[in-house]
Amino acid sequence: MQFTNRESELNFLNEKWRETIAQLIIIYGKRRVGKTEISIQFAKGKPHIYFLCERIAMHHQLKKFTAAIGEYFKDEFLPSEGFRDWETAFKYLAHKREKLIIIVDEFPYLVETDKAVPSTFQKAWDLYLKNSNVYLILLGSSISMMEKTALFYKAPLYGRRTGQFLIKPFKFKEVKEIFAGKSFEEILSIYSIVGGTPLYLGKFCGKNYLDVVKKEILKKGQPLYEEVEFLLREELKEPRNYFAILEALSLGKHKLSEIINETGFDKGTVSRYISILDSLQITKKEIAITERMPEKSRKGIYMIDDNFFNFWFRFVFRNRALLEENRINEVASKIKEAMPSLLAKNYERISGEILLNAILNNKITLKFESYGRWWNKNEEIDLVAVNSQTNEILFGEVKWSNKPIGTNIYKDLEEKTQRVEWGKKGRCHYFCLFSKSGFTEDMIKLAKKEKVCLFHKDCLI
C-alpha cells in the first residue's frame, strides 16, 4: 500500500521545518500505526540521520549512533568505539552549521536500557541543541513511556519539546479512500477486521477480504497470527490476565460485573488491568453521551477500541486449537456467519463519523459539541449528538439490515427519545436514520415532511 492520507501530520512537520529555531518534536502512537513511515516521508529530500534504537547495551547503541553520524558527515576521525555518552554526541552535532534532521526511532528502548536517558537528553538540549540547527524527532510506540519521559508535567523533557503529534489509526473515511474501488460493505468488512492500522490494511489491497483473513490472520506461522500476542508482550510484563479480560470483552461482556463473572477476577484486579489497557488505547470506557459528569459516572461500559484486537480475540484466540491443526476453513465459516453482526456493530460505531463528515461538508447545517450513544436499563439509542450552548440534540438509529427502513423504525426512535432527560425543557431535537438497504417510500416522504436526515450507507440522500 502506498503512503497516503497523512497530509496533516506532514504539514505539521514541514511547518516546523520552515521555522528558524531548533526543534524537539515528539511523535508517538500505537505500534504499526505508521510513525516511522511518516518521519521518513517528511525527511525525504532533506538532510537527515535516521537511527533505530534497539534493546541492546547502551555502549552498543552509542557505537551505532556514532557510525551513522560518521557516515553522514564522512568523518573518519570519530571514535571507532563510539561517543562516550549522548551528551558528547549531541555536542558534536550542535557544532555543525547545516540544518539537520535527527530521527531517533523507538526512543523508549533507550530509556529501558538506561533510566537516566531522558535527563541526559534534557541536559544536552539545554546546553547544546536548543541554540543549534538540529531538528530532533523522538519516536515512540510505548505511549505511557513517551508521556512519562516527555509529555507529562514532571517529565524530564517537558517544556523542551517544540511540538508533539499523537499518530492515530485511519478513520473509516480514510480507509474508504484507500479502497476506493471496493464496495461499501467490503470496505466496512476490512475496517471491522483490522481497523485503521496502515500495515494491516495493506494486506487487503486488490484482494478479497475473506481470502486475506484465511491466508494472513488464521494461518499458523504468518505474522498476524501471533501479532496481538506479540504486541501485548511488548507492552506488558505479565499479559496472561489481560488476555482473559480482552477475550471477555470480545465476547460482548461489557459491564464490569460481566467481566468479573467471566474471568473470575475481583473488581480491583479488573479495574486495574482495564485502566492499563485504556492507557495503551486498546480498550475504552464508554459513558452515555448525556451524562453530566462522565468522569465520575459509574454507569459506563467497557469495550475493545481496536478492531483488530477485537477480531483476533474473538476468532483467533478462541479457536487456537482448530487453527493449530490447520482447520482454517472451519474458523473461516464461523467468521462468515458472524460477519453480519460484526458489520452491524461497526456501522453503529462509524455513524457519528459519517454525521460529522456531512456537517463538515456543509450538507447538514447543524453543529454539535460531541456525539455518542445513550442507554438506560431497558433501551438504547445508537447515536446521540448534543450542543449544550444551543440546547440542541440529535437522535439517530442505525440499521444494518437487508430490509429498507420504514416509518415504524422512526416512530420507535421518537418514542425512545422521550426517556432522554438531557435538555428536555425547551430543547430543539432532530432525527437521522442510517440504513444499509435504503428506506421505504413512506419513510422518504415522512423524512421530507419532518426534516429527518436519511443516510444510505454513508451517503446523505
Q: Which of 151, 157, 88, 79 is nearest to 116 (CA)?
A: 157
232: left (phi over 0), alpha (psi -120 to 50) or beta: alpha
Percent of all residues in the chain with a pLDDT value above 90, rounded to a whole number: 87
Residue 2 has pLDDT above 70, yes or no: no
Residue 3 has pLDDT above 70, yes or no: no
Mean pLDDT of 333-351: 97
CA dist 88 and 76 (Å) reads 17
Judged by DSSP in three states, 336 sits in helix
Position 421 confidence tier, pLDDT thresholds 50, 70, 90: very high
What residues contact 238, with CB distance under 8 A and at least 6 apart? Answer: none
Mean pLDDT of 126-146: 94
Residue type, 253: K
> For residue range 68-103, what is the model confidence (pLDDT) as tens digits?
999 999 998 898 899 999 999 999 999 988 899 999
> For residue range 37-47, what is the model confidence (pLDDT) as tens digits?
999 999 999 99
> For residue range 358-371, what is the model confidence (pLDDT) as tens digits?
999 999 999 999 99
What 406-410 contacts at long range (C-beta under 8 Å, 24+ apart), as own/partner pairs, is 406/439, 406/440, 406/442, 406/443, 407/440, 407/442, 407/443, 407/446, 409/433, 409/443, 410/443, 410/446, 410/447, 410/452
> For residue range 12-40, what is the model confidence (pLDDT) as tens digits?
999 999 999 999 999 999 999 999 999 99
Strands of 100-105's sheet in order across: 48-52, 100-105, 134-140, 23-28, 163-166
Position 247 confidence tier, pLDDT thresholds 50, 70, 90: very high
Q: Which of 322, 336, 338 is nearest to 218 (CA)?
A: 322
Position 237 confidence tier, pLDDT thresholds 50, 70, 90: confident
Q: Which domains does the chain have, with CATH numbers?
A: 7-166 (3.40.50.300), 173-345 (1.10.10.10), 364-460 (3.40.1350)
Residue 211 has pLDDT above 70, yes or no: yes
Residue 1 has a pLDDT of: 58
Name which of 59-73, 226-240, 432-446 the model is least confident about. Answer: 226-240
DSSP calls for 228-250: HHHHHHHH-S--HHHHHHHHHHH
- On average, the pLDDT of the chain sits at 94
Mean pLDDT of 269-283: 93
Of 4 and 70, more confident: 70
Helices then strands, each counted (H, E), the chain:
20, 13
